[in-house]
Amino acid sequence: MLKTSVAKKIAMALSGFFLITFIIVHLSINLTMVFGGKETFEEAVHFMATNPFIRIMEPILFLGFIFHISMGIYLELKNRANRPVGYAEYKGSAVASWASRNMIWTGLFVLLFLLFHFYNYYIPFRTTNVSDHYALVTGLFQSPVYTVFYVLAFIALGIHLSHGFESAFQSVGMPREKCYKAIHICGQCFAWIVALGFSFIAVYFYFK
């Protein structure tokens, strides 16, 4: 099924849609720390940790991340191999946005953040009897270094989404003439909401 480049791009797009769903859920839960308080957040964490459907989806989510990252790197390397000779006069900004030309770099920066995030949150959640999830999540925001890193990571994710959102729709066959403008606007809005939403949480708890 994944032998053709078109099939690979469609699979990449579908995995992207799956991860976008995760981002929406994750942001919604994290915002309860600000607007709902500790008790609401702890209830949300308990629900996510004990719900059978969520537990089944957890390994699928990991596979989704691995597939999306691996396929992204593969497609980038393949595209570079297909154009080994550089352009006589490069005019990248004239044919593609900065976000589209740097998807691999924003993606790799987000991957670096995910590794730290996995170490700081997921492993303690699963390997120790954490009684105060709220304190664990908000505690790291007391560090200015971590807070800046966190904000930069989600700015990178926002940039990644600003192109990836509409690109995914194009890969699955969106009628460009009819839907491009609406999908472009939705993609830009979603990217900004994600970047600013997560960044707001980090900055809020740093100053709090």
- Residue numbers of the chain with a pLDDT score lower than 50: 86-90
Residue 90: predicted pLDDT? 46
In whole angstroms, how far apart are CA 9 and each of 12, 72, 75, 76? Answer: 5, 9, 8, 11
Residue 84, burial from CB neighbour count under 10 angstroms (0-12, 13-18, 19+): exposed
Whether 42 and 134 have beta carbons less than 8 Å apart is answered as yes
Residue 201, burial from CB neighbour count under 10 angstroms (0-12, 13-18, 19+): buried
Residue 197: predicted pLDDT? 97
Structural domains in the chain, CATH included, are 9-81+99-207 (1.20.1300.10)
The rounded percent of the chain whose pLDDT value lies above 70 is 91
Q: Which two tokens stand for residue 21?
A: 């769903």
Q: How many CB atoms lie within 10 A of CB 144?
A: 9
What DSSP assignment string belongs to the chain? --SSHHHHHHHHHHHHHHHHHHHHHHHHHHHHHHHTHHHHHHHHHHHHHH-HHHHHHHHHHHHHHHHHHHHHHHHHHHHHHT--SPPSS--HHHHS-HHHHTHHHHHHHHHHHHHHHIIIIIHHHHHS--S-HHHHHHHGGGSHHHHHHHHHHHHHHHHHHHHHHHHHHHHTT--HHHHHHHHHHHHHHHHHHHHHHHHHHHHHHHH-
Residue 196: predicted pLDDT? 97
